[in-house]
Amino acid sequence: MEAFSDGVFAIAITLLVLELHSPELEEGQRLWPALLDEWPQFAAYLTSFAILGIMWVNHHSMFRQIQRADRGLMFLNLLLLLWTTLLPFPTSLFAEHLEDDSINANVAAAVYSANLTLAAIAFSMIWWYVLRNHLVEHEMTKSEMRRSLVRYSMGTVIYGATIGISFISAKATLLIVFLLALYYAFEQVRTRD
């Protein structure tokens, strides 16, 4: 199951580049400013890359603690992979509408945030299922279980909140999501070596 999941993460993270398009220049137009104008594409690419990277690292360390996988786990994992493989679509949608003056920018940001929230929910469901069916390798006390569940549920709450923030500012949403990914990366490097 891990090989398949690793494959899906690797492909999803690599397919993101297909959403980057060379700017179409008119006669005599300069390439460099045209590339700079495409910054939403690059910002959305970078953010989605960071998120998929963190998700892969998290997935890896979660499944390392699981001693056996049953079919229920397999299908919950497929649910997570559904939101993972879908991400290039809202990424492209977000990049396209980030600078719109209208409500469309907010809608695109909300769709992007909703995708991340659904992925976070799938993560929590997997962990909840794993604990409930005693599929973890090591012994855990009730309070350790509760704490680890709260930990995984935080992502759901935080990404859920970015759906709301989307309707305040699309650009702020992108920035927050990117900073969250960086925070998670550094927090993990610090605490769980």
Residue 177 lies near a copy of itself (rule: CB under 8 A): no
**Closer to a copy of itself by Cβ: residue 32 or 142:** 32
Q: Which of 81, 98, 120, 180 binds a copy of itself (CB under 8 A)?
A: 81
Letter for the amino acid at 1? Answer: M
Inter-residue contact 147 to 131 (CB < 8 Å): no
Smallest separation, CB 33 to a copy of itself (Å): 10
**Closer to a copy of itself by Cβ: residue 61 or 146:** 61
Candidates 16-24, 118-126, 155-163, 166-174 — which segment interacts with a copy of itself by CB under 8 A? 16-24
Candidates 7-15, 113-121, 139-147, 154-162 — which segment interacts with a copy of itself by CB under 8 A? 7-15
The C-alpha atoms of residue 141 and residue 159 are separated, in whole angstroms, by: 28
86-89-93 Cα angle (round to 5): 145
88-69-154 Cα angle (round to 5): 55
Q: Which of 48, 80, 97, 113 binds a copy of itself (CB under 8 A)?
A: 97
The C-alpha atoms of residue 104 and residue 29 are separated, in whole angstroms, by: 28
**Closer to a copy of itself by Cβ: residue 28 or 143:** 28
Smallest separation, CB 11 to a copy of itself (Å): 4
Q: Spell out a b/e string for 59-87, using b for 16 or more CB atoms within 10 Å of the CB, else e.
A: beebbeebeeeeeebeebbebbbebbeeb
Smallest separation, CB 98 to a copy of itself (Å): 12
